[in-house]
């Protein structure tokens, strides 16, 4: 049972779904049941709206069509000007009530709060209770049944000894509620406390939808996200406050930046000038030594080339003579070797064919047996040939039968035994089937009772059954007519049936009867299936018809057999050589089991020819083939050698044709060095002749070709000598110009080293010029003549760039550097003071960030302490815990930055991880904050809102665990219970009182979709009792079993006869002991 104060009733006036109604609340539990869209969740929204106001109101659930706003709860009349009320009677003591409510209007998103008390006026912040609750009818005029507007309601209620005060702004309203212990908050509660209170109410309703396993959702629920935004806002305010000093500070920073830039530039330019002078001197000396080396090398190279060319000219003259002789002998040798090789190949090929034939005969003999003779082999070959013919005949016959569809008929006939047996059987079966068909057809006439000439007709009109002997006789003589036939041998007829049957003399035996016909005895088989066993003609007709159907079916089968028999005979008769084919088929078993030799698909003549070859050459073929192979190999080697020599001769000829003439080398020498007698070429000499070997000549020429001095190379070497002489002269003159003399000793110097020094000298000079021109263009955009100065003098540029006050005492480059450094020192002292004040302001905000994190840590500790005080664990097993864990960011930098503020003027602090000088360069405070953070978190690059977000520095883990610390995810109900405890704990932080003695005030748990909790609802009810809460459930169906005296139940039903969002009057279920409350309801209706 909820202690006072508690909600006595909730009344609605002019609201959607609920219309005008008074909901009486049970002191502990009130249930609202109804389908979706009946306005159940709106109950929780109305309670929240009344207590916190529209400024902080948010619906706990999403309504159909979007977000639920206060103005959307109003029923709009035909003129679209709706107004409505929602208020609660708070029972502060037995039968003492205070009314608090919200006034809503269509088209106005803000609600207006009001309070109703007893008496004529409000005195201070104390409220005078009403002796009875206010009902919805008290806000409706009796004369026109219209809702009284808020502005007129005060006078309307004053006439009934009640006083109303309404509030356009909510702070005074909330102060009154707190002062009268209706809101369980501290007197110092601020806007955030009310926001948290509203959030707690909502979270009770949607607790099963809170993602408490997500730290960011949990943090925002517990602490909100306004603190981060406040810190960012303070930082932006600080930026605006510094804008007045920005111009001066910016000017100082700009001057510092300019002079630092100039200092760096002129230091670089001075160093480049020195580097160039040193590089040029070193290169000039190295270039002289290298030019001297190159000249000596070129003269030696040309001398060696002259000696080599003289030797080469002499040897080539001799080779050309030897080649002329080979042009006559080698072609003849090639023709002779080719003819010998072709003859050897032909002989070897013939012997190989003979050997193959001999080996084939040998294989056949071995397959018969070790001592097999050619006669045995011949006999086996003939047998194989015979079986091949028979196999072909069997295949031919099988194909004919298959094409005619007679394969099975043939296999089951006597034709498989030969033509004579088959024909004899055919005649026998033909007669047998023909007679059977004729007999069956005669018997079929027995069923025709309409033929007066038949014995059946006579028997049917006897009007009695026939004996077995009579019916046997009847069937035997049925085939004879009753008319006299044409006279012929064995012709018979029965003119009068009575004469036959009346004079029958029968002698029976085991199978039939002997019948006497005027002295002639004939044998008649006794029928096994008598038909004339009844005198009922209709029944007899039916039996005869069935019997006839059976006879006709037999006739059809017999005719089909006869047709197949004749078809097979015609196929056999029309097949050529049928006797041979049938004879072969008789021996099919021997043919199918015979193992044919695949090599014997040849004629008898070919077979006998192979045997002849075997007889004549079997003993000598091996030696003959071996000798033929040697002959082929020898002839091939000679032919190949002749071809190789011919090819080599062609190569030699081509090489000689490509060889330059000696006069070409002499001409170039005279053109390039006309007066130089140091180098001479001889073209008329010859060397000694060598052996007449084509291979050696070709190899020698190839080697010479690879090492041959080309015309281009010869000309290039002579030009290199000329160039070397010219470069030596130039290097000598430059060295004397720089050093006034030549080096006394020669030093070895590589081209790479000289080129490196030359490149370095040019790089140094170009670097100096580029830097000089860049500085002139950068600092003296209107004075281009400086950049056009051919001397590129350092001090000239410096005096033009630097301001006049710095020109004093500038003579050298070092003076320029000293003047800039002195000016920088002066300006830096001025800029430091402005920068330090900015750093201190940012440090204050960072300290607040640290304080917020500490506050969150303390709040979490308080919540955890609240959880530890719980007497009854959830499900009697699990305790709720809220753990503090390290966040994505470390707060170490916050303390470091705070230390920076305290030691900002201490030089020793320069060793700290914070670079003060870098911070002092930042004009924008947000850049300053990000830089300070980056200096302590080098791997992270975050924006200001992320840095100032307290939630980034820690995370929370909410859940349940056993006494032993074993975690438990929990069922839906257990989780809901844990979240309810979290809400209660959160409220205990912002409310008045202490954990041991909570402050008085309205506490209630609105639980939406409560039926989803199932049996776990009992656990939640226990929590509500323990912490003095009223339970308000909203569900589609009942939650648990109805408990007498423990709850009220309201069933909501939408009015289906109207398109308006309006319910039928609710159906209320109250306990017997609460029956007195109905008096209140009845009075309200009346």
pLDDT tens-place string over residues 560-569:
988 988 888 8
Most confident region among 23-32, 654-663, 725-734 by mean pLDDT? 23-32
pLDDT, tens digit (0-9, with 9 covering 90-100), for 201-238:
877 766 545 666 777 777 777 777 777 778 888 877 87
Looking at the structure, tell me whether residues 1025 and 1062 fall in a common domain.
yes
**Mean of pLDDT values over 888-897:** 81
What pLDDT digit, counting tens, does each position of 100-115 carry? 999 999 888 899 999 9
Mean pLDDT score, 147-155 = 92
Specify the higher pLDDT residue, 194 or 784.
Answer: 194
| Whether residue 108 is found in the same domain as residue 44 | yes
User: Is 127 in the same domain as 167?
Assistant: yes
Does one domain contain both 425 and 483? yes
Contact (CB, 8 A) for 98 and 4:
no
Enclosing domain of residue 159? 6-208+1021-1085
User: Do 537 and 607 belong to one domain?
Assistant: no
Is 922 or 86 the better-scoring residue by pLDDT?
86
Same domain, 547 and 599: no
In a domain, 504, yes or no: yes
Please tell me the predicted confidence (pLDDT) of residue 552: 87
Instruction: Read off the pLDDT of each residue in 234-259 and give the average, rounded to a whole number.
Output: 71
Confidence band for 80, pLDDT divided at 50, 70 and 90 = very low
Cβ atoms 347, 624 nearer than 8 A: no
Question: Which of the 8 DSSP states describes residue 62?
Answer: P
Residue 1048 is predicted with a pLDDT of 92
- Same domain flag for 107 and 62: yes
Number of domains in the chain: 3
- What is the distance between the alpha carbons of residues 437 and 429, in angstroms, rounded to a whole number? 12
The span from the CA of 1024 to the CA of 297, in Å, is 109
| pLDDT over threshold 80, residue 833 | no
Q: Pick the range with the lowest mean pLDDT from 329-333, 423-427, 851-855, 883-887.
A: 329-333
Same domain? For 450 and 571 the reply is yes
Is residue 718 in some structural domain? no
Q: How many CA atoms lie within 13 A of 532 on its CB side?
A: 26
pLDDT-above-70 percentage for the chain: 88
Find the mean pLDDT for residues 386-407: 83
Does residue 388 sit in the same domain as residue 421?
no
Q: What is the pLDDT of residues 285-319, one digit of tens each?
A: 899 899 988 888 888 888 888 888 888 877 777 77
CA distance between the termini of the chain: 31
Q: Are residues 395 and 517 in the same domain?
A: no
Four-point Cα dihedral 161, 162, 163, 167, nearest 10 = -160
Tokens 């040309």 sit at which residue?
A: 302
Boundary residue ending a domain (560, 584, 608) = 584
Give the confidence band of 136 by pLDDT, cuts at 50, 70, 90: very high
Q: Tokens at residue 108, please?
A: 């106005």
The rounded distance, in Å, linking the Cα atoms of 983 and 971 is 18
In a domain, 774, yes or no: no
Position 767 in a domain: no
Question: In which residue are the tokens 């084509």 written?
Answer: 694
Residue 1081 contacts residue 1074 (beta carbons within 8 Å): no
pLDDT tens readout for residues 953-1010: 888 888 887 776 777 766 666 777 777 777 777 777 666 555 566 678 898 888 888 7
- The secondary structure element, H or E, covering residue 578 is helix 578-586
The CATH number assigned to the domain holding 74 equals 3.40.1140.10
For residues 753 and 347, the model is more confident at: 753
Q: How confident is the model at residue 247 (pLDDT cuts 50, 70, 90)?
A: low
Q: 80 and 110: one domain?
A: yes
Residue 52 lies inside a defined structural domain of this protein? yes
Mean pLDDT of 453-464: 80
DSSP element (H, E) containing 116: strand 108-118
Is residue 23 helix, strand or coil? strand
Distance, CA of 585 to chain centre: 70
Mean pLDDT of the chain: 81
The answer to whether residue 637 is domain-embedded is no
Question: Rounded CA gap, 806 and 259, in Å?
Answer: 12
Locus of tokens 């900002």:
904
pLDDT at 96: 95
Structural domain ending residue among the three candidates 564, 584, 604 = 584
Look at residue 671 and tell me whether its pLDDT is greater than 80.
yes
Q: Is residue 443 part of a domain?
A: yes
Co-location of 390 and 437 in the same domain: no
Using omega within 30 degrees of 0 as the cis cutoff, is the peptide bond preceding 408 cis? no
Contact 518, 500 (CB under 8 A): no
Instruction: Select from 531, 561, 584 the last residue of a domain.
Output: 584
Residue 684 pLDDT > 80: no
458 falls within a domain: yes
The residue that leads in pLDDT, 502 or 88, is 88
């Amino acid at each position: 049972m909820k202690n006072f104060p508690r909600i006595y009733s909730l009344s609605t006036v002019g609201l959607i779904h609920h219309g005008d109604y008074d909901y009486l609340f049970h002191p502990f539990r009130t249930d609202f049941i109804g389908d979706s869209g009946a306005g159940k969740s709106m109950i929780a929204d109305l309670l929240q709206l009344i207590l916190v106001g529209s400024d902080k109101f948010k619906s706990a659930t999403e309504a159909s069509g979007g977000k639920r706003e206060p103005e959307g709860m109003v029923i709009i009349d035909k003129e679209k000007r709706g107004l409505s009320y929602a208020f609660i009677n708070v029972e502060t003591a037995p039968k003492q009530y205070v009314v608090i409510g919200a006034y809503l209007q269509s088209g106005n998103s803000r609600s207006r709060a009001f309070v109703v008390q007893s008496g004529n006026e409000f005195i201070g912040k104390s409220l005078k209770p009403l002796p009875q609750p206010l009902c919805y009818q008290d806000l409706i005029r009796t004369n026109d049944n219209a809702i009284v507007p808020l502005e007129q309601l005060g006078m309307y209620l004053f006439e009934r000894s009640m006083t109303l005060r309404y509030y356009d702004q909510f702070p005074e309203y909330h102060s009154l509620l707190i002062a009268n212990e209706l809101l369980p908050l501290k007197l110092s509660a601020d806007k955030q406390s009310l926001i948290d209170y509203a959030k707690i109410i909502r979270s009770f309703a949607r607790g099963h939808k809170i993602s408490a396993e997500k730290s960011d959702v949990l943090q925002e629920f517990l602490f909100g996200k306004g603190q981060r935004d406040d810190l960012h806002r303070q930082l932006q305010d600080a930026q605006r406050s510094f804008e007045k000093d920005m111009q001066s500070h910016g000017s100082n920073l700009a001057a510092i930046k300019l002079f630092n830039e100039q200092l760096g530039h002129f230091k670089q330019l001075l160093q480049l000038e020195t580097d160039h002078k040193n590089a040029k001197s070193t290169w000039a000396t190295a270039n002289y030594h290298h030019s001297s080396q190159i000249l000596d090398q070129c003269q030696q190279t040309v001398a060696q080339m002259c000696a080599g060319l003289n030797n080469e000219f002499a040897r080539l003259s001799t080779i050309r003579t030897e080649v002329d002789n080979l042009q006559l002998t080698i072609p003849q040798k090639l023709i002779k070797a080719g003819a010998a090789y072709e003859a050897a190949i032909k002989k070897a090929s013939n012997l190989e064919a003979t050997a193959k034939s001999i080996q084939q005969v040998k294989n056949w003999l071995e397959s018969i047996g070790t001592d097999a003779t050619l006669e045995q082999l011949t006999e086996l070959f003939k047998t194989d040939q015979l079986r091949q013919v028979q196999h072909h005949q069997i295949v031919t016959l099988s194909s004919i039968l298959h094409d005619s569809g007679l394969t099975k008929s043939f296999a089951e006939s006597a034709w498989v035994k030969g033509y004579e047996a088959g024909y004899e059987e055919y005649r026998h079966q033909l007669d047998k089937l023909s007679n059977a068909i004729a007999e069956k057809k005669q018997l079929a006439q027995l069923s025709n009772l309409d033929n007066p000439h038949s014995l059946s007709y006579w028997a049917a009109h006897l009007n009695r059954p026939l004996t077995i002997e009579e019916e046997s006789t009847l069937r035997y003589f049925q085939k004879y007519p009753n008319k006299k036939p044409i006279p012929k041998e064995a012709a018979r007829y029965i003119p009068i049936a009575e004469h036959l049957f009346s004079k029958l003399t029968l002698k029976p035996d085991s199978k039939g009867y002997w019948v006497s016909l005027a002295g002639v005895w004939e044998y008649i088989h006794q029928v096994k299936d008598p038909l004339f066993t009844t005198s009922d003609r209709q029944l007899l007709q039916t039996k005869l018809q069935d019997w006839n159907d059976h006879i006709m079916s037999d006739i059809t089968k017999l005719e089909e057999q006869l047709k197949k028999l004749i078809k097979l005979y015609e196929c056999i008769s029309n097949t050529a050589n049928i006797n041979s084919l049938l004879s072969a088929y008789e021996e099919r078993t021997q043919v199918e089991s015979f193992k044919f030799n695949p090599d014997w698909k040849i004629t008898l003549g070919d077979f006998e020819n192979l045997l002849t070859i075997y007889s004549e050459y079997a003993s000598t073929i091996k030696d003959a083939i071996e000798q033929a192979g040697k002959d082929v190999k020898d002839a091939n080697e000679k032919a190949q050698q002749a071809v190789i020599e011919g090819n080599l001769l062609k190569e030699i000829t081509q090489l000689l044709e490509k060889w330059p003439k000696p006069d070409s080398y002499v001409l170039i020498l005279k053109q390039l060095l006309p007066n130089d007698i140091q180098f001479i070429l001889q073209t008329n000499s010859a060397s000694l002749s060598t052996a007449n070997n084509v291979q050696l000549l070709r190899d020698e020429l190839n080697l010479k070709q690879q090492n041959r001095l080309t015309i281009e190379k010869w000309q290039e070497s002579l030009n290199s000598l000329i160039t070397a002489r010219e470069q030596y002269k130039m290097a000598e003159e430059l060295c004397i110009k720089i050093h006034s003399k030549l080096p006394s000793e020669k030093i070895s110097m590589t081209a790479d080293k000289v080129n490196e020094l030359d490149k370095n000298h040019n790089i140094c000079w170009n670097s100096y010029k580029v830097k000089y021109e860049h500085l002139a263009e950068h600092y003296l955009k209107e004075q281009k003549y400086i950049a056009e100065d051919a001397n590129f003098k350092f001090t000239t540029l410096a005096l033009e760039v630097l301001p006049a006050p710095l020109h004093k005492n500038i003579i050298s480059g070092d003076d320029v550097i000293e003047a800039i450094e002195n000016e920088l020192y002066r300006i830096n002292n001025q800029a430091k003071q402005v920068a330090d004040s900015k750093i201190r302001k940012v440090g204050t905000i960072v300290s607040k960030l640290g304080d917020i994190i500490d506050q969150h840590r303390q709040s979490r500790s308080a919540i955890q302490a609240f959880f530890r005080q719980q007497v009854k664990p959830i499900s009697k097993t699990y305790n709720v815990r809220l753990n503090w864990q390290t966040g994505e960011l470390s707060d170490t930098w916050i303390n470091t930055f705070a230390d920076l503020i305290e030691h900002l003027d201490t030089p020793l602090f320069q060793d700290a991880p914070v670079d003060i000088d870098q911070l002092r360069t930042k004009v924008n405070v947000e850049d300053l904050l990000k830089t300070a953070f980056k200096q302590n978190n080098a791997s992270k690059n975050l924006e200001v809102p992320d840095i100032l977000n307290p939630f980034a520095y820690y995370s929370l883990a909410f859940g349940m665990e056993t006494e032993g610390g074993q975690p438990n995810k929990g069922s839906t109900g257990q989780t809901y219970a844990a979240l309810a405890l979290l809400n209660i704990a959160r409220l205990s932080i912002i409310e008045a009182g202490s954990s041991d003695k909570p402050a008085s005030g309205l506490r209630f748990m609105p639980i939406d979709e409560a039926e989803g909790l199932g049996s776990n609802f009992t656990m939640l009810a226990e929590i509500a009792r323990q912490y003095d809460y009223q339970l308000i459930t909203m569900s589609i169906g009942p939650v648990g079993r109805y408990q007498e005296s423990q709850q009220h139940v309201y069933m909501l039903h939408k009015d289906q006869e109207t398109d308006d969002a309006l319910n039928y009057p609710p159906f209320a279920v109250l306990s017997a002991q609460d029956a007195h409350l109905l008096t209140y309801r009845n009075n309200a209706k009346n």
